[in-house]
C-alpha cells in the first residue's frame, strides 16, 4: 500500500512520533487553539485519526491575550518502556516581541495516552522546541533551542539534566550544537543508538528553505560530528539551501518573515517546507520519520492549509547515518507501507457534526479558551448554543467553534437559529485564519430597517471591510449558511430550506488566508466553523443544528 502525503492534512505542524507496541502516536503543535496538543493514532501508518488531546482542562492553560501563533509550540511526545509512562514536554510561547522568545517549558506524564496526565512541572524558559531524552542508564535530559538575542551571537541547541525525583533541572543548560550549517538550529530531538547520541534538528527557517540535519556524538554534550550528507531531508535544492539566510534585526516589522525564504521554493517538489522531524524505529528495524511540510498555491506561494505532517521511510546506512529509503534527500509524496492493497488516498471526507450529546466532537476547537466557557448542548435540544462574547478580532474571549480546514476543495454548511436585537449581536459561519484575517457571514441587526440583515465581514490584516453585495434582510427564523472553498476562490451562500442556495457577498482569494499573507500571525492554518458575538452584554445566543464538512482531500493543490 502507498501512503499519500501529507498524512495529517491541514494545520498539523511540528510532529513528534512515538510507539507503544503496535500503536503509533503523533503529537503536533496547537499554538493559540484549545484543546491543546492534539495526538493522532495509527496502527498501519496509513490511516491516522485524531485520538485525544493532552490538555483539555482550561484551568491548566491560559492562552488569553496571546497574539496569533503564540501558545503551545512543538510538543515532544515520548514513551518510556522502562517506566510504562508517556511523557509530553511542551512550551508555551508568550511573546516574540523584539525577537525575544519568551517561553515557559513544562513536562507532564501519564500511563495511558488518554490520560489522566500529571500536573505540569515547570522546567525552564531557556528556549523553545524543547524535547525529552530517555537515556539507557535511566537519566533524562531536556534539549531546547538556546535562543540568542545579542548582536553578533548565534543561538544553539542546549541540553540540561532532569532529576525525576525532585522534578527539577540540574544546573544550567549547556550549548552542544550550532547546526550543520551554523545558521540556526531548532526542533531538536536526541536519540541513542549503538553508543551514539544522534541529534536531529530543523534548520534553514520554517519556510521554503526548511530541512532536517543530523549530528552524532559519543557523549550527549558532544562534540558532535556532522552527517556528511546533510541535510538528510528537505524540499529545497542544494543550491538554494546554501544561499545565505539573512535575519533582519533592523526590520520595522514586529517579526520579519525572512525565514520564509521564497527563493528556496523548488517547483519540482510537491511537498514544500519539509523539515522539523522526529523518527521512531519498530521491532522489525523499520525507521519511520515524520516531518513538517506544506502545499502552497502556485505561483502565489501561499499555504492556506498551513504546515502539515508527512511520513517517510528511512534506513540506517552502513556508516550508521539515517538515509531516505527512496534515495536522495527530497521529501517524497508517497511511502510504501508493505501492507497488502493499492494506493491509500483520502478521497472525499464527509464529516457531519451533530450536537445530540453533552460532549462536543473531538475535532472542534476554540481560539485561546475552552469551548465550555461559551458553548453547550443543553439549552436547545439537538443544537449547540454559543453565547456571544467579544468580536472575532479579540485575543481574549471569542465564541468561535471551528474545525481545521484540510482541503482547498471544501464545502461547509450549518443551520442557524439566531434573533439579533441590536447591531452588537451577530452570528454565522466563519473562515478563520487568525483574529486579523477572516471571513464572517454574519446575521446581525439593522436599526434603519428595524430588521435582521445578512452580509459578509472581511478582516484583511486587521482592516475591517463590510461586504454588502447581495445583502438580505431575513425574518427572525432559521437560516442555512454555506461556505464554498474552490481552490483559489472562496464565497458564501444562504438558503431558507437547505436545498436552494443563493450567493451572497464577493468572491475572495483563498490565498488571503495563509501564513504568507498574514501580517501579524504565522505558523498556523485555516479553520472553518460557527461564531456568535455579543459585544454589548455577552449574553445573546445563537443555536446551530449541525456543522457539515465535505472535503475532497484527493485533489492536488497547484
Read off the pLDDT band of 168 (50, 70, 90).
Answer: very high
**Percent of the chain predicted with pLDDT > 90:** 89
Mean pLDDT of 318-335: 97
Looking up cell 451572497, which residue turns up? Answer: 504
- CA dist list (Å): 350 to 52, 309, 343, 429, 556: 20, 21, 20, 18, 18
How is the chain split into domains, by residue range?
A: 2-344, 348-552
Helices (H) and strands (E) in the chain, counts: 1, 40
Strands 437-446 and 425-434, by their bridges, are antiparallel
Q: Phi and psi (nearest 5°) for 372?
A: -70, -5
Tell which wins on pLDDT, 249 or 88: 88
Q: Report how far residue 382's alpha carbon sits from residue 230's, in angstroms, rounded to the nearest whole number.
A: 55
Q: What's the whole-number average pLDDT of the chain?
A: 94
Query: What pLDDT was estimated at residue 251?
Result: 43
Tell which wins on pLDDT, 147 or 50: 50
Mean pLDDT of 518-532: 96
Looking up cell 513528534, which residue turns up? Answer: 16
Query: What pLDDT was estimated at residue 276?
Result: 98
Looking at domain 2-344, its CATH architecture is 5 Propeller (2.115)
Query: What pLDDT was estimated at residue 113?
Result: 98
Q: Report how far residue 341's alpha carbon sits from residue 163's, in angstroms, rounded to the nearest whole number.
A: 47
Read off the pLDDT band of 325 (50, 70, 90).
Answer: very high
Q: Which residues contact 431 (CB under 8 A, 6 or more apart)?
A: 405, 438, 439, 483, 485, 490, 513, 526, 527, 528
Over the stretch 190-202, which tens digit does the pLDDT of each residue have? 999 999 999 999 9
Over the stretch 208-238, which tens digit does the pLDDT of each residue have? 999 999 999 999 999 999 999 999 999 999 8
Q: Give the CA dihedral 416, 420, 426, 428, nearest 10 degrees.
A: 10
Three-class DSSP category at 240: helix
Q: Phi and psi (nearest 5°) for 259?
A: -65, -20
Q: Report how far residue 176's alpha carbon sits from residue 406's, in angstroms, rounded to the nearest whole number.
A: 38
| Residue 253: pLDDT over 60 | no
Query: What pLDDT was estimated at residue 241?
Result: 84
| Residue 453: pLDDT over 70 | yes
E-assigned strands of 223-347?
A: 225-226, 233-234, 272-281, 287-294, 308-316, 322-324, 334-336, 343-344
Query: What pLDDT was estimated at residue 462?
Result: 97
CATH topology of domain 348-552: Jelly Rolls (2.60.120)
**How many Cβ atoms sit within 10 Å of the Cβ of residue 182?**
12
Buried b (16+ CB within 10 A) or exposed e, 356-380: eeeebbbebbbbbbbbeebbbbeee
Query: What pLDDT was estimated at residue 548?
Result: 98
Read off the pLDDT band of 255 (50, 70, 90).
Answer: very low
Q: What is the pTM of this model?
A: 0.96
Query: What pLDDT was estimated at residue 363?
Result: 98
Query: What residues act catalytically?
Result: 14, 186
Amino acid at each position: 500500500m502507498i501512503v499519500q502525503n501529507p498524512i495529517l492534512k491541514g494545520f498539523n505542524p511540528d510532529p513528534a512520533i512515538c510507539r507503544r507496541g503496535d500503536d503509533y502516536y503523533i503529537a503536533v503543535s496547537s499554538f493559540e487553539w484549545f484543546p491543546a496538543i492534539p495526538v493522532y493514532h495509527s496502527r498501519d501508518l496509513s490511516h491516522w485519526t485524531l485520538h485525544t488531546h493532552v490538555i483539555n482542562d482550561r484551568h491548566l492553560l491560559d492562552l488569553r491575550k496571546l497574539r496569533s501563533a503564540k501558545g503551545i509550540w512543538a510538543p515532544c511526545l515520548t514513551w518510556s518502556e522502562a517506566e510504562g509512562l508517556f511523557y509530553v514536554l511542551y512550551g508555551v510561547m508568550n511573546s516574540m516581541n523584539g525577537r525575544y522568545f519568551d517561553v515557559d517549558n513544562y513536562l507532564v506524564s501519564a500511563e495511558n495516552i488518554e490520560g489522566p496526565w500529571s500536573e505540569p512541572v515547570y522546567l525552564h524558559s531557556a528556549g523553545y522546541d524543547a524535547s525529552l531524552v530517555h537515556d539507557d542508564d535511566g537519566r533524562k535530559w531536556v534539549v531546547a533551542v538556546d535562543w540568542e538575542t545579542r548582536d553578533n551571537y548565534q543561538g544553539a541547541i542546549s541540553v540540561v539534566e532532569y532529576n525525576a525525583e525532585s522534578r527539577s533541572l540540574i544546573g544550567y543548560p549547556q550549548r552542544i550544537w550550532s547546526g550543520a550549517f551554523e545558521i540556526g538550529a531548532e526542533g531538536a530531538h536526541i536519540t541513542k543508538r549503538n553508543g551514539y547520541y544522534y541529534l536531529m534538528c530543523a534548520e534553514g527557517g520554517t519556510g521554503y528553505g526548511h530541512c532536517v540535519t543530523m549530528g552524532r556524538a559519543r557523549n550527549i554534550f558532544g562534540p558532535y560530528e556532522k552527517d556528511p550528507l546533510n541535510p538528510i531531508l528537505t524540499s529545497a535544492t542544494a543550491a538554494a539551501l546554501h544561499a545565505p539566510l539573512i535575519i533582519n534585526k533592523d526590520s520595522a516589522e514586529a517579526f520579519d518573515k525572512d525565514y520564509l525564504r521564497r527563493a528556496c521554493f523548488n517547483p519540482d517538489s510537491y511537498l514544500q517546507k519539509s523539515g522539523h522531524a522526529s523518527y521512531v524505529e519498530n521491532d522489525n528495524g523499520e525507521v519511520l520519520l515524520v516531518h513538517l511540510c506544506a502545499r502552497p498555491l502556485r505561483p502565489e506561494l501561499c499555504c492556506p492549509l498551513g504546515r502539515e505532517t508527512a511520513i517517510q521511510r528511512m534506513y540506517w546506512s552502513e556508516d550508521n547515518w539515517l538515509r531516505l529509503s527512496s534515495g536522495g534527500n527530497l521529501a517524497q509524496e508517497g511511502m510504501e507501507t508493505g501492507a497488502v492493497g493499492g494506493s491509500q488516498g483520502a478521497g472525499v471526507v464527509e464529516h457531519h457534526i451533530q450536537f445530540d450529546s453533552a460532549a462536543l466532537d473531538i475535532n472542534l476547537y476554540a481560539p485561546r479558551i475552552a469551548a465550555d466557557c461559551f458553548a453547550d448542548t443543553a439549552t436547545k435540544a439537538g443544537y449547540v448554543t454559543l453565547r456571544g462574547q467579544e468580536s472575532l478580532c479579540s485575543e481574549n474571549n471569542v465564541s468561535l467553534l471551528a474545525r481545521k480546514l484540510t482541503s482547498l476543495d471544501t464545502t461547509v454548511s450549518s443551520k442557524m437559529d439566531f434573533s439579533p436585537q441590536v447591531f452588537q449581536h451577530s452570528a454565522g459561519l466563519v473562515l478563520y485564519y487568525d483574529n486579523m484575517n477572516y471571513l464572517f457571514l454574519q446575521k446581525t441587526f439593522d436599526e434603519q430597517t428595524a430588521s435582521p440583515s445578512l452580509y459578509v465581514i472581511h478582516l484583511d490584516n486587521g482592516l475591517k471591510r463590510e461586504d454588502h453585495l447581495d445583502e438580505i434582510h431575513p425574518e427572525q427564523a432559521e437560516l442555512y449558511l454555506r461556505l464554498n472553498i474552490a481552490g483559489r476562490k472562496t464565497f458564501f451562500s444562504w438558503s431558507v430550506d437547505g436545498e436552494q442556495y443563493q450567493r451572497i457577498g464577493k468572491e475572495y482569494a483563498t490565498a488571503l488566508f495563509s501564513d504568507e499573507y498574514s501580517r501579524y500571525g504565522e505558523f498556523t492554518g485555516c479553520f472553518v466553523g460557527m461564531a456568535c458575538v455579543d459585544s454589548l452584554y455577552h449574553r445573546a445566543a445563537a443555536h446551530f443544528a449541525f456543522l457539515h464538512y465535505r472535503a475532497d482531500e484527493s485533489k492536488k493543490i497547484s
